[in-house]
Structures are given as C-alpha cells and as structure tokens.
Structure 1
C-alpha cells in the first residue's frame, strides 16, 4: 500500500469504470468517493473535500464540462481530469480551456498514466494553494504595514522615517499603546539597507523576568539548572539585521547595563560563556512611557537612554489627529469586509458620528478592533450604532473621557464624500502635485490615481 495523500472525486456512470478507478486510486493511498451523475457529484463534493476530480465527459443528467465549471467555481484550486470515449478535439479543447480542466484523457487509458496525472494534478493544486496563500499574506502584510494619515503629527513621523531609515542610527519610538509604534519600526527596517537581514522583535514586558537574560543573551550548556544545550540569544539572531526592543523601560535595570555593554562593544557574551561573540545590528527601541518620567522613576538608565536615543520619533495619539479618522475608517472597513467576506457597504450616520467624536483611549488599535467587530456582527448592509462596542452605546464619548470634538462639529456626509473631500483638500494643499498629495494622504501614488478616478476627480486642476 502506497502512502499518497489527497481526496479524489470520481464521477462516471459506468460502474465498472468507476469501481476500477476507485481500486486503482485506493491502492496508491488516495481517499476516493465515487458518484455516477452531476447531481450526486455536487452533493458529494460538498461533503468529501476533494482536491482532484476525475469526471466523465458524458453523464446521464448533464455535461461533464458544465460539472467541471461548477466544481471549479466552488473551489478554484480543484484540479479536474476529464475522461471521454468520444475523442472530439473540439470538446477536448473546450474542456481544457473553457471549463478549466487540468487534462483530458481518452478511454481506454493506462492506469499508470492516470496515476501520474493525478499526482501532477495534486502537485499543481498544492502550488496554486501555496501561491494564493502567499499573495494573501503579502497583501495582509502590505495593508497592515501601511501608515495612514494626513495630519501634521503623522506626517512628521513619516518624514523622519524617510530621513533616517537608511542610516544605522539607533531610534527610540515614543507613543501611547495602540498608536502604531511597531508599524513605524517595521517601516524603518523595510526601508533600511538591512531589510534583507533578520528582523527580530522582543517585547520586554512579555518576557518572564527569570528567562529574559537567557532569551536576550543566550546561554551555554550547563550554565544553570535546565540548560541542557547551547542556546543562541535574540541579540545574536539579529546579527546583520535590525532589533526592536519593544517597551524597553520594562527591562530590568541589571539587564539594561548588560545591553549597554553590548551596544558599546558590539559583542554579546552568552550566560556561562567565557568569550563574547561579535554582533552587528541596528537597534530600534519603543516605549509607551515618557522617557523623562522613566528616568525619574529609575525605569530607564540614563546612560542607556543616551545610547538608544540618537533619533526619537513621537507617534501622536489618535485624539490629536482626528482628521485622519475618516481615512482610517475607510481603510479598515475595506480590509475587514474583504477579509471576512462580508457585504458591508458603509456606516450609518449616527454610528459614524460616534466614531468621529469618541476619544479613542486605545488609539488606532482600538479603532481597528471596533471596525473589525462591527463588520463581523452587523446583520445589514451598513454598520449601525448597535454594532459598535459597548463604550459607544450609552454616550457620544467614552465615560470619563472628554470628547475630542463635539458631535455637532462632526462633518456630515458619507465615507465616500469625506474621502473625496480629503483627496481634494490634499491636492489643493500641494497645488495638485500628485506625489506630494499621495504622501500627505499616506497613500501610494498609484492608489491616489485609482481613488481620483473612482471619485471623478480630474488629473489636472480644473
């Protein structure tokens, strides 16, 4: 018995042929489900999760080509092999091109040839699935890594990133939780000369205090109880790339001293090791605390602060860049309705006014989570106030937090209208310089052109 994996649907109304195909495929380890009609095939396909199908061209209740089209409509990665005793060249061409069949095989056929085709079909399917998943991951990564906004504060962030990304200077990113500090760090690495090297992220607040030294610096076998083998630390793993120390003020003071030594000597000594290992990485740190307060409270060593703070980037809270909320709402709404396959066309006016008047103590992350939740729970074509999280239900703002803008001051209009107005405002501000307007809006230039066409905005100033 061979150990091939994969489920195959066989559709042939001649029982002897269907049984023969089943026995041949099962002898090679495949899971096989046989049917003899279009109707039964569609019912079986919904249950058996087939990865490949062998379909007879002529079936008692329909055409094998139409069945092939329907099966591939339901699962575009499904690979279909059409078998026929009717050696029509026209039909064969239609099967492979029009219906999307993987191959056409004429009866009678050699079982070994069929098995080879099934293996090739499943290999092709795996490749298609891998490529689809990769494209989805890259699209998600691109969407998640895009820093959106046109407010002056976020534009200063983008300008600083562009100015220092390709340098090796240490950078300290300062901002409240949820403002997008990690996105800024990602942008610094991706635009640097080290983008082809490792990108190691360490959340200093998440590492247990009794393990943080070993995780950061590594250890040798026998260095302490439980150290049964050598371990490479995260600082070593960052060699040749960039290192993010997230929430650096949460690192124990004694380890801050060791980190300072690493930065000064450009070498790491594992716990229990006699010699240090040279390392070369670009350090990016972040904190949600005021560095001055952290220094006063003893949470951050002054000598380390001077070393990590060659360049500082302050990421503004969302309440200080509320003009960016329409842009962020549109981006998150489009992202999550595509991700979850929900037909959500917009947001009802009252719900939208609450989004714009809310204080957002959790910043962009809170807005992102609120929009994803609303897309998932809404039952209609538009998000309503009831679809938003609890803090939005009882009042215009979060209890105990002053509104950033009175509800009467919130601009009226749909998301489409506000997006169009934002683009026109950016174009006017930049005297219709498309590249500058795209940068102001936090968009790529092709995206700006696409949105201008969508909103009927001319390419030249009227």
Structure 2
C-alpha cells in the first residue's frame, strides 16, 4: 500500500485553503501556506508530490513559484488555480510545467480530487519507471534504458536465462524497436562480456563487400585489395558478432555463413587456408523469416540453425507503458548533449507521445525528442517543440488527445492552437498568407498567436526575406 502523498497548497485566502483541505477529505498529508515565502521554507525541508499554487497572491505572482519548482523541484507536480488569472497566465503556468489548471471557486469537490489523483498517478508511474529502470540496470549490468512494460519485462526474464548460454540467437522485430540494444545486452551479460561485441548491418552491403568484411581478404583477392585484412569473425573472436538484417543477404552468402556455423571455420576471400573461429552469432531481422523461407528467399536450414533461441521485440505502439521512461531518458540525454538546463515534459506533449503511432518505433521517438530539446525555449517541452508529424501541426487529428475531459473553452483553445499551427506550417510562417487562409486580419492573427502562446517565427523558412515571412 502506498504512503499518503504529500501536498503543498499555496493560497492567500485561509478560507480557500480550508475548503481545498476539506474537499481532499484527509486522503493526503497537506501543508497549507498563504505566501510564497512560507512555501519556500516548506520546500527546504520537505519533498512534495504535488504543489497546488494560486497564481494571484497579494504583491506576489504564483508563476514565480511554479518556475522555481520546475527548476529546483522537478519531481513535484504543479496544479495551478486562480479566480482572477487571465488566459495568458494560465497558458504561461502550463508552459512552466503545471500539469493542470483549475478556476476558483472550486465548488465541485470531485474536480479537485480527480485532478489530484490523475496527477499523482502520473507521478507514481514516473517514480516506478525510474525505480524499475535502475533495478534493471543493476540486475543486467547495463546502462541501456529499455522500458518496463509487461512485454519488455517478459523479454528481460527470457534474456537473463539465455545470456549465459553460449548458443545462437535470433532477434526479430520492426525497424527501430532496439534489436541491436538487446543483442548487446545478451553479450554484456554472457561469459563473453570481456571480449568484443561487433555489429554489422548486412542490408547495407553488397555480397562481395560483406564477405570481405566478415571473413577478411588476402592481398590481390580483388581490385583495390592492396594488403591482407582481417574480418569481423577474427576481430570478434572470443566475443559476439551481431548480424543485423540477416534476411537481406544473398542465398549464396547464406550457404557460406551456414558452413561457418556448422564447422566453426571460414576462409578469407582469396585464401585457400581455413581459419577457426570461436564467435557467438546473434542475428536479427525486421522481416517475416518463415514467409521468406516459403518464398525461397531465405534458406530453411540456415533459419533453423539461427533460430535456436528467438527473441521477438514488439513494436512501441504495443508497449506504450515504455514511452514515459524512454521519453524522460531521451530528454535527459539530449539536454546533456546540447548543454541545456533540465527540461520537463508537459502533459500535452506526453499525451501526444502516448497516442502517436510510432511507425519508426524507438528510433523515431528518440529523433522526435532530440528535435524537441533543440527547439524548446522554456524549461518545459511543449507540443510545438515536437516535429510536425508528431505534434499534429501537419494536419493530423491528434488535437483530440488534448481535449479529453476539457471544458468548452479549453477544447476551443486546443483546436484553435492546432489550427493556427497547421496554417503556419503550411505557409512556412508567412503570417499574411496564413491569416488570409483563416479569413481574418493579420492583426487578429497575431493576437490569436499571442493568446495561445504560439511563436509564429519558429515556422519561418530560412529563405524568407527580412520581413520575417509576413508578406
């Protein structure tokens, strides 16, 4: 059973504080304060799961505290509340990292409870992801973040069993699911972990070049063979050789590979001498290998030889529980890479990530978040920071993700934001053309951009003139 969550509630009105505390019905440990200075003192010695912050305080601005929480207490979620704040203030609160925004008076006790519970579930899920990921790294001696969904945990259990067995393995799954990561995990946790792990993508090489790379060649074996060269089998001797996209190889090459697997010997190109190899082979493919065998495009005997152990990695759309931990990991990775301060992922962005189809799987997710980190201007990744294909600004219907359980005003603004972003994307940031397409004046278009927190300059093409693409 989970311990009671800790909530910090900041409101200048004692009456409002007591009302919220009563509505929460003693389900949480609550700290009630009436000023930002009191809140800061509480935060010095306590960790809170949620901070409920009134934006309008006498002589103070609740946005300042939200900004500090985002920077100094990134694992404290924020629910912003106000009876006076403007739409701009609400938008800014969300940009700074607030998970929810509520309008006072909070007359419906169910609403605050629903919002708190929803936010806590997201917080606990992130904490569980971090805990399981740390445990996974410790148990499997790896710093490769994979995920902790039920399908992946099942694969991890299988991986732990097979890693210590010195046998062939075949990994299958769509492009981008992380087949090479799992191959390296097997190597890292095998008796061969002290030796080399060598990876080669068979699909990108001609048959002649692939043979030369794997088996090596003798001087004069072919044009430009000016010296003897060892192959990957020799380089990986004692270790592991990962053959990615094995189904892209020719039938002639498959015969030669099968012989190596059966005899443990090979010949360098241009040599008449056998060389013995002690190398574990892990192969991978994104194709239906059994179908290829039936079509005569892949040797049946090689398939059965490789398929001693089969590890199938499901696509990301079938294990969406992994998206949160992967997204957090990638954002941290790219913040470090580009020397940016820590970024949080806004609820709107996480909704988009969880509902996107991810045809390119983990690789596409990683690329999308690298783009988002580069584009982010605040301390929170926003939907407009994502590539258009993911954010929905290219005309997709993912706008509906953000209006689930929203009020009429929130739904209207969500649609308006996506509509305007789509126009800006289509026109390359040409405000005059975008306004004409929307059948409103340019001045009105600017006002809507400001109201909805849209930076139209982001959509300008590099070839635009000094007028910023406005005309």
| TM-score normalised according to structure 1 size | 0.54
* Equivalent in the alignment of 1:173: 171
How much does 1:339 deviate? 2.5
Per the alignment, do residues 317 and 409 of structure 1 end up closer, same or farther by CA in structure 2, a change over 3 Å counting? farther
* Equivalent in the alignment of 1:202: 200
Matched, 1:394 2:389: no
Per the alignment, do residues 216 and 345 of structure 1 end up closer, same or farther by CA in structure 2, a change over 3 Å counting? closer
| Contact 1:344–1:383 (Cα < 8 Å) also in 2 | no
With 310-319 and 230-239 compared, the bigger mean Cα shift is at 230-239
* Equivalent in the alignment of 1:214: 212
| Contact 1:217–1:269 (Cα < 8 Å) also in 2 | yes
Taking the aligned partners of 1:297 and 1:173, their CA distance within structure 2 comes to 21
Misfit runs of 4+, over 3 Å: 142-145, 393-399, 405-411
* Equivalent in the alignment of 2:225: 227
Matched, 1:146 2:123: no
How much does 1:227 deviate? 2.2
Which residue, out of 236, 239, 243, partners 1:238? 236
How much does 1:191 deviate? 0.5
Per the alignment, do residues 148 and 223 of structure 1 end up closer, same or farther by CA in structure 2, a change over 3 Å counting? closer
| Contact 2:352–2:401 (Cα < 8 Å) also in 1 | no
| Contact 1:359–1:398 (Cα < 8 Å) also in 2 | no
Taking the aligned partners of 1:170 and 1:352, their CA distance within structure 2 comes to 39
Task: Name the SS for the 1:231 alignment partner.
Answer: coil
Taking the aligned partners of 1:384 and 1:182, their CA distance within structure 2 comes to 31
* Equivalent in the alignment of 1:332: 330
Per the alignment, do residues 322 and 410 of structure 1 end up closer, same or farther by CA in structure 2, a change over 3 Å counting? farther
How much does 1:179 deviate? 0.6
| Contact 2:251–2:298 (Cα < 8 Å) also in 1 | yes
How much does 1:265 deviate? 0.8
Q: Deviations over 1:127-177 (max 9, x none)?
A: xxxxxxxxxxxx9xx999524322111111111110010111100000111
Per the alignment, do residues 144 and 328 of structure 1 end up closer, same or farther by CA in structure 2, a change over 3 Å counting? farther
Per the alignment, do residues 299 and 410 of structure 1 end up closer, same or farther by CA in structure 2, a change over 3 Å counting? farther
Matched, 1:260 2:258: yes
| Contact 2:173–2:314 (Cα < 8 Å) also in 1 | yes
Task: Name the SS for the 1:307 alignment partner.
Answer: helix
* Equivalent in the alignment of 2:340: 342
| Contact 2:147–2:322 (Cα < 8 Å) also in 1 | yes
Task: Name the SS for the 1:195 alignment partner.
Answer: coil
Taking the aligned partners of 1:321 and 1:335, their CA distance within structure 2 comes to 22
Q: Deviations over 1:42-87 (max 9, x none)?
A: xxxxxxxxxxxxxxxxxxxxxxxxxxxxxxxxxxxxxxxxxxxxxx
Q: Deviations over 1:70-129 (max 9, x none)?
A: xxxxxxxxxxxxxxxxxxxxxxxxxxxxxxxxxxxxxxxxxxxxxxxxxxxxxxxxxxxx
Q: Which has the larger radius of gyration?
A: 1
* Equivalent in the alignment of 1:383: 381
Taking the aligned partners of 2:160 and 2:396, their CA distance within structure 1 comes to 35
Residue segments in structure 1 that go unaligned for 5+ positions in a row: 1-138, 412-462
| Contact 1:171–1:312 (Cα < 8 Å) also in 2 | yes
Count of residue pairs the alignment pairs up = 267
Which residue, out of 257, 280, 288, partners 2:278? 280
Taking the aligned partners of 1:373 and 1:328, their CA distance within structure 2 comes to 15
| TM-score normalised according to structure 2 size | 0.53
Taking the aligned partners of 1:150 and 1:410, their CA distance within structure 2 comes to 28
* Equivalent in the alignment of 1:303: 301
Per the alignment, do residues 145 and 202 of structure 1 end up closer, same or farther by CA in structure 2, a change over 3 Å counting? farther
With 195-204 and 185-194 compared, the bigger mean Cα shift is at 195-204
Q: Deviations over 1:235-292 (max 9, x none)?
A: 2222111110000001111011000001111001112212211111111001111121
Residue segments in structure 2 that go unaligned for 5+ positions in a row: 1-136, 407-471
Taking the aligned partners of 1:396 and 1:353, their CA distance within structure 2 comes to 17
Per the alignment, do residues 145 and 315 of structure 1 end up closer, same or farther by CA in structure 2, a change over 3 Å counting? farther
Taking the aligned partners of 1:341 and 1:390, their CA distance within structure 2 comes to 24
Taking the aligned partners of 1:290 and 1:147, their CA distance within structure 2 comes to 27
* Equivalent in the alignment of 1:448: none
Task: Name the SS for the 1:188 alignment partner.
Answer: helix
How much does 1:351 deviate? 2.3
